[in-house]
Chain A
């Protein structure tokens, strides 16, 4: 629908004719206007609407639209203002961790810090390796994006990545390099880069202000204050993430292609770890059961097939189906799993608090109206036992197929 205001002569005629039966409904319901004398005038009769029992109601929450705004097109979703950097005076390079292919909160804090350093003239360049699933680079504060998609950067490839970053250094000569000082690869990559560029980095930085950086030193008992160096490895919450602006996220290309040399470290892939031995607070994938689980042996079998750490709601623990140390929630463990599969858990507020940090939540439940379904990214309504059985069969079929492909 276009935004052109069209006149409706008939409506105008009805509005002029006080004897017309539709006259009252055609009155423009302006409730507040500025008079010629500059005084604000209000029409209290035009406020509100007639409720279902014929009583006038006033809704002050803002949800109720006045009848006069019928003609305007539905308001588009509010767009944040776009921050444009045409000709960047300098670059600030950020290498996000991209855990699970998405920007983590640590990465977003880092982009916020990068914008503090870039001001209005500089451009923030995100250097991303391998495939990703992120589509919010613009709102996270990325002005330019440098995406390396070559197959050599898949998996664990720190030496090749450092070579690529050295190329970026030669071409862009960024004013600052920012990397997350995390165990998810950023800390390692940053230190490797520092060693190959012979730059002395500031590590575990938690504040950069007025050209001074403050970072933790030693075992965390001391702070190191120093002039902000070119390479900064920042810890989480080093700055506020971007929230008020949108950014261009323009793709960039390096001028010369990269042909990294052979690596001395070869990645032979992940090793199966017994999920029961991983502490639940840091498990990546949790299968959690509650009151809706009837067949607990099937539940354990499903956890084994999925390779998931087991969790439980308080009801399942109180009923004796699971040990106390497996309880998830306010009185149990606050988990940080990336994927949380809740089977037969309705989602008490204490339980939802415990899974607040989880990224993706899948709910399997009989009740489509429960709170867990509202929280979940994917909900399947149905009998938990049947769905778990089907899931086990599906994964077995997938694994069989995989083995057949490999042979």
Chain B
């Protein structure tokens, strides 16, 4: 069952996709967050959405996106370790995109998550971070839900056109089907190549396990050390309301909850 597209038929959505890496084997695959961005785009604009990749067109993993039900994928031909920002911004300036969807960071390479921000800066568009859902779009103003930590949501009003990055709170990407993935078409365009300055000075190495934080014992005497090692939950800090009516107790709890801002 496919989710029905919203009444946003004329909406021009572009999703920017990259090549991911499987977390265990490291094999190339469709990137998790980018696939969610494509899923969101498919729900908004259906098959009319455009999917763009800047990189190597011969990469088989790109067909993973085509298998989600997209007829065509644009590839801006770029060598490895090139800065794709300029190629993408040139392409997007020429297109009439109204909404650009990206994942929040790449799974290979630097993965700084800067691309959507830099594109927004170059295009002069607003950027929404952590898009979870587009509620409605009327008269060039979009009402969207932004995902916050701890499962919370915030409603935002944004002027079109805008860039949105999605993270793991966006709807789960549909499966990639083999047949459509074979039949889909990859259109390759040459684009300006701009070498990335970063790799002149920085280098990528296999990740080292992070050092565990040591528990520093500050006790100067043996007695203090003994106390620190055997202490139960430290008491005394809290306020204790004894012999009060339930209303007074409830009032105190209510006040603390309001101070912490957890009551909505």
Binding site for B on A (CB under 8 A): 60-62, 100-101, 133, 156, 158-159, 183-184, 187-188, 191-192, 194-196, 200-201, 203, 206, 214, 216-227, 237, 240, 243, 264-273, 277-279, 282-285, 306-308, 338-339, 341, 347, 349, 352, 360-364, 368, 371, 373-383, 386-387, 389-391, 393-395, 398
Contacts and interface: CB of A to CB of B under 8 A. Distances in A.
Contacts of A100: 260-261
Contacts of B162: 264
B103 to A, nearest CB: 11
Contacts of A338: 260, 262
Nearest to B162: A264
Nearest to A206: B210
Contacts of A279: 151
Interface stretch (B88-96, B176-184, B230-238): B230-238
Nearest to B224: A62
B150 interface: yes
26 contacts: A62-B223, A100-B260, A184-B149, A195-B118, A221-B23, A223-B204, A224-B110, A226-B202, A227-B201, A243-B218, A268-B157, A284-B150, A339-B262, A374-B232, A374-B233, A374-B234, A374-B236, A378-B239, A379-B240, A381-B240, A381-B241, A387-B250, A391-B254, A393-B250, A398-B254, A398-B263
B128 A373 contact: no
Interface string B98-117: 00000000111111111001
B171 interface: no
Q: Which 3 A-B pairs have the closest CB atoms?
A: A226-B202, A374-B235, A390-B250
B126 A307 contact: no
Contact of B238 (A214, A264, A349, A378): A378
A265 B160 CA distance: 10
Contact of A386 (B118, B151, B204, B246): B246
B155 interface: yes
B145 A364 contact: no
B6 interface: no
B59 interface: no
Contacts of B110: 217-218, 224
A368 B240 contact: yes
B239 A389 contact: no
Given A223-B205, A382-B244, A265 B106 contact: no
B207 interface: yes
Given A282-B151, A380-B252, A398-B263, 11 more contacts: A156-B146, A156-B154, A195-B120, A219-B20, A219-B111, A267-B154, A268-B143, A364-B253, A376-B238, A379-B241, A398-B254
A156 B156 CA distance: 9
A393 B117 CA distance: 47
B99 to A, nearest CB: 14
Contacts of A183: 130, 148-149, 167
Interface in B192-216: 197-198, 201-208, 210, 213, 216
Given A188-B129, A269-B155, A377-B239, A194 B206 contact: no
Given A265-B157, A282-B151, A390 B246 contact: yes
Contacts of A361: 238
A266 B156 contact: yes
A210 B134 CA distance: 46
Contacts of B157: 265-266, 268
Contacts of B251: 394
A216 B249 CA distance: 48
A219 B233 contact: no
A287 to B, nearest CB: 10
Contacts of B210: 206, 237
A347 B233 contact: yes
A200 B149 CA distance: 26
B257 interface: yes
Nearest to A63: B223
A270 B154 contact: yes
